[in-house]
Amino acid sequence: MNQSSIMACSKHHLPELLVIHNPYSVFTRFESDFSIKFHILKAWESPLPLDQFLTTHARSVRSMFSYFNFTQVNADLLRLLPALELVVTPTVGVNHIDLTECRRRGISVANAGAAYSEDVADCAVGLFIDVHRRLSAADRYIRQRLWGIGTPDDRRNYPLTGRKLGGKRVGIVGLGSIGYEVAKRLEAFGCSISYNSRREKPCVSYPFYSDVCELAANNDSLIICCALTDQTHHLINKQVLSALGREGVIVNVGRGAVIDEKELVRCLVHGEIRGAGLDVFEDEPHVPKVLFGLDNVVLSPHIAAFTPESFQTVSDVMVANLEAFFSDQPLLTSFIDD
C-alpha cells in the first residue's frame, strides 16, 4: 500500500465533520486545524446534488460546521441528516440555526462563546470614538485637500463637530460577554454605564432598564451588543430612536436587523439623532446608499471580530468542542437558548 493510500485509509477512520457550503476564507482559516483530527466532508466539492450527497452520508454524519449567511440549519436540512448530533459554528450569534428544531431532535449547538468578545468590544469602542470625534470625517477632509484652502482664518474653520467622551451616558443593549467588555473599556473614558438585557445581572452594579425605550431616554448613546432573535428583531425602532434624541449616537456590533434600518436612515438624514457607527446591516452586504454621503455615520463591513488572534482562538474552541463531543465529554461552549 502506497503512502497516499495509507493516508486516505487513516483519514477515513477520523470522526466525520460535514461542511456543506464553502465559506471562502473563513473555513480556509480553520481547515488545517480541523483536517488533522477530523475527516472533513466537503459537500460543495461533490459532483452529486446536495440532497444525494447528504443521503449518501446520512447515517454516518454526527457533526457539522455551519457559518451564518452560508448554511441555514433548518428543518429541511436536518431531515436529511438523521444521525446528526452536533452543529458547531464559529459565530456568537446563532440566528442561522433553527434552535427549536435542533432541540426537538436532540441536536446540540456549540458557538464561539467568548472567543471574539474583546475584539468586538474594541471595534465597538472604536466606532463610538470615531462617531463622537468625527475622525473619519476629518480624515476625508484632509484627503480631499480642503485643509489649508482660503485665508488664514478659513484654514482654522474646520467644523467644530467633535464631542467629548468623558461624562457620556452610555446604554448597552445586551450585557453578555461582549457588552461587558464594552462597558469596562468605556468606564476608563469616564463614561457612565447602564444596560438592558433579557434579565438583570446581579453580578454588576450598572443600572438596569427592563425597557429599552427607557434606557434610550436616559442615555446619550446606545451600543447594540445583543443577539438577533425573534424578540430583538427591530428592537431599536422609531420609538427608541426618538427617545435617544437629537444628540444621541448609536453603535451596532450585534446584528443589523436588531435596528429598524429604514427608520435609522430616516433619523440620520433628518438630524433626529446625531450619528451612528455601524459594523452590521440588515441586508448584508447591501448598505443603504444614502449613508455613504453622511459625515455623521461611520461604516464597517462586519469585521468587528476579524483578527488573526480571534480566529485562532475560535478555531481552538471549535476543535475542543468537537473533541469533547466525540469523547462523550461536556461541550465547552454549548449554546443555551434561555
- Which residues are part of the catalytic machinery? 255, 284, 302
Question: What grid cell was written down for 158?
Answer: 474646520
DSSP track, 257-286: GGB-HHHHHHHHHTTSSSEEEES--TBTTB
Q: Alpha-carbon distance 299 to 302, whole Å? A: 9
Rounded-to-integer distance, Cα 170 and Cα 206, Å: 11
* 3-class DSSP state of 54: helix
Q: Is the distance from CB of 318 to CB of 331 less than 8 angstroms?
A: no
Half-sphere exposure of 103 (CA within 13 A, CB side): 8
Which 3 state secondary structure label does DSSP give 195?
strand
Which residue, among 115, 57, 113, has the nearest Cα to 309 in the 3D structure? 115
Query: What is the Cα gyration radius of the chain?
Result: 23
Bridge partners of 278?
252, 299
Residue type, 145: R
- Look at residues 267, 11, 281, 275 and name the one whose alpha carbon lies nearest to residue 127: 275
Within 13 Å, how many C-alpha atoms sit on residue 61's CB side?
A: 25
Distances, alpha carbon 57 to alpha carbons 84, 105, 191, 326, in Å: 10, 18, 54, 18
* Residue with grid cell 468586538, as numbered in its chain: 120
